[in-house]
Amino acid sequence: MSSTVRIIGIVFVFIIASIAWMILGGTMGSRTSDVSSRLDGAVDNLWGSGQDQRPPDFVFHWTTEREDVRTETTNGKLVKVRNTVVEQHQKTMSIESTTIDVKLDSDLRRKGLMWFSLYDAAVSADWTYTHNEPITGTIAVGFAFPTPYGLYDDFKFIINGTDYAASLSPTDGRVGMNLPVRPGDKIALHVQYKTRGSDYWSYTPAQGVLTNFKLSMHTNFVDIDYPQSGLSPSDKARTKDGWQLNWTFTQVVTGRGIGMLTPTRLQPGELAAEMSFGAPVSLLFFFVIIYVLASLRKISIHPFNYLLIAAAFFAFHLLFAYTADRLPVEGAFALASVVSVVLVVSYLRLVVSARFALVEAGLAQLVYLVGFSLAHFAVGFTGLAITILAIITLFLVMQLTGRVRFKELAPRAPGSVLQTPAPSPTPRA
């Protein structure tokens, strides 16, 4: 078989394998999407959704009276009628100080191809308000839970030392009560509860104003991340099992909130799909190295042999895809790697030799299949891994073929005569 025909056959094998990987990647993406759409709502109902806590409302209500004078005609005479009109007023007041303590405990759960970032939260918060208005009236204190349908255990709603939680009836996820106030009165509100949620917890200030504000957050996880529009902490310190984070502000106006994204893990379904879509690149590099080595050592490897090698590579991704939802991801990856390497090495041992199978092909497969696939575990570094492998492959090919005279290896046209350079004349003595 000529070199041209062999290369065409290898390219055909590569195209067929690439199509198979595209189908597998699309299948895994579809499976993951279906599982996510079915389970997201169920998990929210069972455990809770992301939570955004907002500060309580302090709304001042007061009344004023004014005399309304109008002229009426009675028995043909104009008569002035005076009535007292009572007008209702209200005004949202500012919170004087805020002190919040939040404890977040990550509780990752897995269902098939999906990991769910769940957490337990214990919230304890204190807000104070001083009535600096010169008139008396009523303060309506209102508090909204992060989500109307969440579960809030050990709930306390304490105003100036008295717990009113037992007498409150939530309406649309809100509770509240009215308190009479006079100029100079102070209201201290303490709220605490334990709840569960997923993905994130945040606190959004009212009207973007934070006055005498302090929020302390304790996490039992090390991999912390903040929402895209969230404020970074004023200071932080590592603890035995996580972080202690503090946000402290005397007076700040901001449109941003404070929050934490709870940790998650690589989604097995998404990982399997990404690895399948990237697999043709690793196979291409492997084929290039094997073809160059075989050509230099005058080893004839038929395109059918390349087809079976490609099938062994595909077996890696197929086995990983359908074991990742039943085994730990690391275990599924190790199993698929061992199976694929054994398939290729044991096969090339019969086709070429034991040394070629174990050394050249085995090492190449560890680098281009196992190493390349392993790079997908490091989110954001896949592109860098491809670049490094491409450079390594280029370097190896350049070193292996640097002394090859391709003109001499090229087939000659029929009837052509190989020209031998004439010897240089011997210089006379």
CB 276 within 8 A of CB 28: yes
Least confident of 242-246, 249-253, 357-361, 407-411: 407-411
Domain annotation covers residue 41: no
Domain annotation covers residue 424: no
**DSSP conformation letters of 139-162:** EEEEEE-SSTT---EEEEEEETTE
Domain annotation covers residue 71: yes
Domain co-membership, 232 together with 193 = yes
How many other CB atoms sit within 10 Å of the CB of residue 271? 24
DSSP-derived secondary structure letter, 298: T
Domain co-membership, 82 together with 158 = yes
How far apart (Å, rounded) are the C-alpha atoms in residues 233 and 251? 15
Q: Which residue has the higher pLDDT, 109 or 165?
A: 165
How far apart (Å, rounded) are the C-alpha atoms in residues 46 and 335? 34
Smallest CA-to-CA distance from 48 within 248, 185, 193 is with: 193
Beta bridge partners of 253: 209
Contacts of 7 (CB under 8 A, 6+ apart): 291
Domain annotation covers residue 100: yes
Measure the CA angle with vertex 50, ends 45 and 53; round to 5°. 120
Q: Which residue has the higher pLDDT, 33 or 218?
A: 218
Domain co-membership, 169 together with 301 = no
Domain co-membership, 173 together with 304 = no
pLDDT at 388 over 90: no
pLDDT at 300 over 50: yes
Range of the domain at 294: 3-36+266-403
Domain co-membership, 223 together with 327 = no
Domain annotation covers residue 422: no
pLDDT at 252 over 90: no
CB 107 within 8 A of CB 197: no
- Write down which residue in 261, 276, 301 finishes a domain: 261
Domain annotation covers residue 218: yes
How far apart (Å, rounded) are the C-alpha atoms in residues 72 and 40? 68
How far apart (Å, rounded) are the C-alpha atoms in residues 358 and 366? 11
Q: What's the domain count of the chain? A: 2
How far apart (Å, rounded) are the C-alpha atoms in residues 176 and 157? 9
Which amino acid is residue 29, in one-letter code? G
Domain co-membership, 125 together with 202 = yes
Domain co-membership, 104 together with 206 = yes
What is the per-residue pLDDT across 124-150, written as a single tens digit (0 to 9) for each? 999 999 999 999 999 999 999 998 888
How many other CB atoms sit within 10 Å of the CB of residue 367? 18
What is the per-residue pLDDT across 16-63, written as a single tens digit (0 to 9) for each? 999 999 999 998 888 777 766 666 666 666 677 889 999 999 999 998
Q: What is the CATH number of the domain that holds 110?
A: 2.60.40
Domain annotation covers residue 313: yes
Domain co-membership, 323 together with 250 = no
Domain co-membership, 54 together with 175 = yes
Domain co-membership, 309 together with 197 = no
pLDDT at 82 over 60: yes
Strand, helix or coil at 215? strand
- Write down which residue in 216, 239, 261 finishes a domain: 261
Domain co-membership, 277 together with 256 = no
Across 254-403, where does the E strand assignment appear? 258-261
Least confident of 174-178, 191-195, 256-260, 318-322: 256-260
Domain annotation covers residue 416: no
How far apart (Å, rounded) are the C-alpha atoms in residues 220 and 201? 14
- Write down which residue in 261, 279, 312 finishes a domain: 261
pLDDT at 206 over 50: yes
What is the per-residue pLDDT across 166-195, written as a single tens digit (0 to 9) for each? 888 888 889 999 999 999 999 999 999 999
Across 9-56, where does the E strand assignment appear? 51-53
pLDDT at 67 over 50: yes
Least confident of 36-40, 78-82, 200-204: 36-40
At residue 419 the predicted structure's pLDDT band, cuts being 50, 70 and 90, is very low
How far apart (Å, rounded) are the C-alpha atoms in residues 128 and 96? 5
Domain co-membership, 189 together with 103 = yes
Query: What phi, psi does 180 have (nearest 5°)?
Result: -70, 140
**Sheet strand arrangement including 77-92:** 77-92, 57-74, 137-144, 174-181
